[in-house]
Amino acid sequence: MWRASVLTIFPEMFPGPLGASLPGKALASGLWSLEALNIRAYATDKHASVDDTPAGGGPGMVMKADVLARAIDGAGTDRPRLLMSPRGIPLTQARVEKLATGPGVIIVCGRYEGIDERVIAARQLEEVSIGDFVLSGGEIAACALIEACVRLIPGVMGKDASRAEESFSDGLLEYPQYTRPAEFEGRTIPDVLTGGDHAKVATWRREQAERLTQARRPDLWAAYLARQKPRKS
């Protein structure tokens, strides 16, 4: 079973959205498991302190290395240890697929100004980012990562074919989707999608995926073109 352990000072935030829709149904049916570990439970003072002032001065507070280390150790060593952080390596579908095929994840959710750098090194935390923006803590980012992984667990999604044609599955953004009614506020479904010619539909979808990727994600488009170049023998 794929297991997710989340270390947080707000365990009440879980399962949150992970308890609804596909991930929620899969959680209830035992296809994966989730535990939210309260970092404060590993503090040793009467106030259950998890943070202190930053060395060298500055605003805010920093989460303490000793408390976090005990919490991380309590979660085990059998899965990748991740730290949700805006300075981390951007999360990609390829990384999600690799995590989804493993035993699960241990995710540390930071708060305040961050966490003591020493615990990152000592516990070999892999810093992961979901985008170039800052949140108040890592919990929302953790939910996003977990949901991305859970939907790839066999049995969670209804049709594997739909997963194969999603954005990033072949390095491109997904093509536009349409359904009934045939006309909406003067806008109609492209004729090619209702003509019954599956080959033409496939060609149209590929062209649209390429057009969108080129326009919206030049980084993905450049990587896609590089893969299309024939290798020299």
Tens digit of pLDDT for each residue in 162-179? 566 677 878 999 999 999
Amino acid at the residue 131: G
In eight-state DSSP terms, residue 192 is G
Let me know: does 79 contact 5? Beta carbons within 8 Å.
Answer: yes
- List of E strands, the chain: 2-8, 32-38, 51-52, 62-63, 81-90, 104-109, 126-129, 183-184, 187-188
pLDDT digit string (tens) for 177-223?
999 999 999 999 999 999 999 999 999 999 999 999 999 999 999 99
* pLDDT given at position 28: 98
* pLDDT given at position 167: 75
- List of E strands, 140-209: 183-184, 187-188
Exposed / middle / buried, residue 141 (Cβ in 10 Å: 0-12, 13-18, 19+): buried
Domains of the chain by start residue, with CATH? 2-150 (3.40.1280.10), 165-228 (1.10.1270.20)
Let me know: does 84 contact 128? Beta carbons within 8 Å.
Answer: yes
- For the chain, give the mean pLDDT: 94
* pLDDT given at position 165: 66
Picking from 78-87, 129-138, 159-168, 211-220, which range would have the lowest pLDDT averaged per residue?
159-168
How many CB atoms are closer than 10 A to CB 87?
A: 10
How many CB atoms are closer than 10 A to CB 73?
A: 11
Question: Roughly what angle, to the nearest 10 degrees, separates helices 93-100 and 139-150?
Answer: 70
- Burial pattern 4-25, b for ≥16 Cβ within 10 A else e, equals bbbbbbbbebbbbebeeebbee
* pLDDT given at position 163: 61
Tell whether the model's pLDDT for residue 226 goes beyond 70: yes
Q: pTM higher than 0.85 for the full model?
A: yes
pLDDT digit string (tens) for 27-47?
999 999 999 999 999 999 999
Q: How confident is the model at residue 160 (pLDDT cuts 50, 70, 90)?
A: low
